[in-house]
Chain A
């Protein structure tokens, strides 16, 4: 009995050695990867918090507990609170239409939805300046009716929505396409309403991907810099989001405060990445259960 086990073990080892490199090559590759990641990931990550805490904890806390910083935080939260739900709604609607029906121009629509990701952030802002700015043909009419879009909240919200349009949709579309429509068709045939079918059949199947899309969308909405920079006008306490506030502080040589506010955005990024890892694990076990069932 024993000898059989041993033979299998050596067999496995022999097989493994066919598809791995010598340990020298292995460690050189791991070392190279670590060196590259140290230069481009680990050192920057540590630097953000070191710079923010350079003058101690109290000046770190002061960097975001002042009127301008709090106004920037409030504005950032407000913009995300408008942009993220709208793009989540869009993502669910687009994914439902694309995954559950066959229609003309479907592939083109899928490609089109990703378009904002290919556009430079500066252009994402520029197009709204051309449309609503003082020099545009809508400009005089907007001024006459005292409607401010550019250098005001609506412009910031619009630019943020543009930049984050695809995030929920691109998570949901491939998933819902792979899930097919049999379950929904069964529910409808058994007499469920469209809304019941969506909330009780579709939603439980897509919840983790939906959540992940929303988290990604939110991270990008709160962190967007280029597009917002073009339409904001950088008015302190009024149209400054957190990333723009970071820029102003940094350009005023107030590095500690700049990194203080930046550290909050970094924590947001870390939370986003952790959520991603967690949700991927959840989704994997969910899929396994589905396959077993």
Chain B
């Protein structure tokens, strides 16, 4: 263990804690995850590609990624507004709202799923007002969008909020004193500061939505080719004992998640580096 230590230390427990960390993490996470790749490597390339490009699978990617992106962008707009309102304005109930923003994160996904379904069903509290307008939410792709927007809500707010809090008001004051109006100050001074955090938040909401299962399956209707998300398709294949199919789609999703996680890391590093420069 002394070989990996870059600096000698008087503190004890390095071998014990790092050893336990690596052992536990390998056993629980790394070995089981690598099993997914081992399983796919026993398949031929044609077999693999056939499953990946099956029309039903492609329809599920389009819905999963399309709805996730749309939900993340909606949260990009409204999440920024919520963060702005929470940081800049004082109004009754502010601290309650601030605490509740994390609800989609803390609420079990199955609970979110059945609740959104009952609200947006044609006889639900919100669904009944949308029905006469010809808008059906529950059991359509639009329902998937609603669920994915719900679960992505905290991410943008919680990444933009601290940056707004740390923003130096003097720069804004200077801009105004130099003759900029509020909108010009916002665009030229505030937006450039928020941009990296906003992108990070949107990417995090998107990544979370892509893998989401629990809150979607109740409201989606789950019709193949129409309202079936990729995680559900994996579940269906598993229930039919189609392990090759489930594993293949699992690898596709896993690789996508890793690429997204890498992008988020780079984005965070970028916004962190900008903060350092100030």
**A contacts, CB < 8 Å to B:** 15, 18-22, 25-26, 29-30, 32-34, 36-37, 39-45, 47-48, 51, 86, 89-90, 93-94, 96-97, 100-105, 109, 111-116, 118-123, 126-131, 133, 135, 158, 161-162, 165, 181, 184-185, 188-189, 194, 197-198, 219, 222-226, 229-230, 242-244, 246-247, 250, 255, 258-259, 262, 265-266, 269-270, 272-274, 276-277
B108 lies within 8 A of chain A by Cβ? yes
CB distance from A207 to the nearest CB of B (A): 18
A90/B20 in contact, CB under 8 A? yes
Enumerate chain B residues within 8 angstroms of A198, measured Cβ to Cβ.
13
Interchain CA distance A197-B10 in the complex, whole Å: 12
CB distance from B255 to the nearest CB of A (A): 11
Contact of A276 with B102 at beta-carbon distance under 8 Å, contacts A44-B115, A126-B246 already known: yes
B240 lies within 8 A of chain A by Cβ? no
Enumerate chain B residues within 8 angstroms of A219, measured Cβ to Cβ.
106
| Chain A contact residues: helix, strand, loop or mixed | helix
Contact of A41 with B106 at beta-carbon distance under 8 Å, contacts A15-B173, A189-B10, A226-B214 already known: no
A250/B114 in contact, CB under 8 A? yes
A30/B89 in contact, CB under 8 A? yes
CB distance from A40 to the nearest CB of B (A): 5
Chain A, Cβ-Cβ closest to B9:
A101
B48 lies within 8 A of chain A by Cβ? no
Contact of A43 with B125 at beta-carbon distance under 8 Å, contacts A18-B177, A246-B111, A272-B106 already known: yes
Enumerate chain A residues within 8 angstroms of B88, measured Cβ to Cβ.
20
Q: Mark B104-122, 1 if CB is under 8 A from A, else 0.
A: 1011111110111011000
Interchain CA distance A273-B96 in the complex, whole Å: 10
Known pairs A34-B97, A111-B261, A127-B35; list 16 more (Cβ under 8 Å): A47-B115, A48-B111, A48-B115, A94-B21, A100-B9, A100-B11, A101-B14, A115-B33, A118-B207, A127-B33, A161-B28, A223-B110, A226-B213, A242-B108, A272-B106, A277-B99
A122/B231 in contact, CB under 8 A? yes
Interface residues of B in 1-50 (CB under 8 A from A): 4-7, 9-14, 16-18, 20-21, 24-25, 28-29, 31-33, 35-36, 39
B81/A18 in contact, CB under 8 A? no
Interface residues of B in 225-243 (CB under 8 A from A): 231-232, 234-235, 238, 241, 243
Enumerate chain A residues within 8 angstroms of B61, measured Cβ to Cβ.
none
Enumerate chain B residues within 8 angstroms of A96, measured Cβ to Cβ.
13, 17
B218 lies within 8 A of chain A by Cβ? yes
Interchain CA distance A225-B108 in the complex, whole Å: 7
Contact of A101 with B213 at beta-carbon distance under 8 Å, contacts A18-B172, A41-B103 already known: no
